[in-house]
């Protein structure tokens, strides 16, 4: 108790999370037994880019084989994990991980850059990620998210808070795609969102101030009060930067 009392909020949060991880892994081991090959944390939490109450603890669970019975048996432990506010884990077989990289190159690049093995072997260590479909998936995902952003802007534009929330939430998704954009341009992407966006801004000559303002809004470090006009202008600048990124990816496909 004295140790907890002396610790700061961040240290206490880490201890609580470590306890939750340990309990969840114990539940998975009891559920799957020897069929459990690996449990891997990936994404912002593994990259050290986690924002409390905003970021997710993304978990990949690798089994040697997956049957409906395996998934039914996992219901209890996954339900408890989800009740704590975490996303439902992704299940793969070990062999699927070797074959799915062509279909999900963006996702596996993200796992390759930022992951922590919580249990078992690193089943992603020898993953062969093909670039064959990467450009197509990147452009598809960017354009899909831009279309969604435009749709969401219609109701969000009713208030400054709505616009701030929309920009802050969507930037996390776009920054994850920017990592793949950097790979397409032959650059080694960093792990953290801020650094990914900064390198994308530098390489494509974007307006970095736009992204910095939205990062500050997302992380609650934005001291200024935005008027309705300023919020809409920031959103317009944001869309323009995203469109420039998409044009750069489209140009690669035409070379």
Per-residue pLDDT at 155:
96
Could you name the CATH architecture of 134-254?
Answer: Up-down Bundle (1.20)
Residues of the chain under the 50 pLDDT cut: 1-5, 7-13
Beta-carbon contacts of 122 under 8 Å, excluding residues fewer than 6 positions away, are: 38, 40, 115
Provide the 10 A C-beta neighbour count for residue 18: 11
Delimit the domains of the chain by residue range.
2-120, 134-254
- How far is the C-alpha of 196 from the C-alpha of 131, rounded, in Å? 19
Tokens for 73? 């048996």
pLDDT digits (tens, 9 = 90+) for 44-96: 777 666 555 555 788 999 999 999 999 999 999 999 998 988 889 999 999 98
**What per-residue confidence (pLDDT) applies to 201?**
97
Task: Give me the pLDDT at residue 136, please.
Answer: 86
pLDDT value, residue 200: 97
The sheet carrying 58-63 orders its strands as: 90-93, 58-63, 36-42, 115-120
pLDDT score, position 4? 42
The domain at 2-120 falls in which architecture? Answer: 2-Layer Sandwich (3.30)
């Amino acid at each position: 108790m004295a140790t907890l009392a002396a610790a700061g909020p961040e240290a206490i949060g880490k201890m609580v999370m470590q306890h939750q991880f340990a309990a969840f892994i114990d539940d998975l081991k009891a559920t799957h037994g020897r069929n459990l090959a690996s449990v891997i944390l990936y994404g912002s939490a593994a990259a050290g880019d986690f924002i409390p109450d905003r970021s997710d603890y993304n978990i990949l669970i690798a089994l040697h084989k997956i049957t409906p019975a395996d998934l039914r048996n996992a219901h209890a432990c996954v339900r408890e994990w989800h009740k704590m506010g975490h996303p439902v884990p992704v299940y793969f077989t070990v062999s699927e991980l070797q074959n799915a990289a062509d279909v999900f190159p963006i996702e596996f690049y993200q796992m390759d850059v930022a992951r922590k093995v919580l249990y078992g072997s690193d089943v992603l260590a020898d993953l062969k990620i093909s670039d064959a479909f990467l450009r197509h998936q990147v452009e598809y995902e960017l354009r899909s998210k831009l279309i969604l952003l435009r749709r969401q802007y219609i109701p969000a534009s009713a208030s400054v808070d709505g616009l701030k929330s929309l920009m802050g939430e969507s930037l996390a998704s776009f920054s994850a795609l920017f990592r793949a954009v950097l790979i397409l341009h032959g650059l080694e992407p960093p792990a953290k969102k801020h650094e990914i966006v900064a390198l994308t801004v530098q390489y494509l000559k974007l307006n970095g101030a736009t992204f910095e303002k939205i990062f500050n809004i997302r992380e609650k470090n934005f001291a200024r009060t935005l008027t309705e006009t300023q919020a809409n202008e920031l959103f317009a600048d944001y869309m323009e930067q995203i469109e420039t990124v998409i044009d750069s990816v489209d140009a690669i496909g035409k070379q």
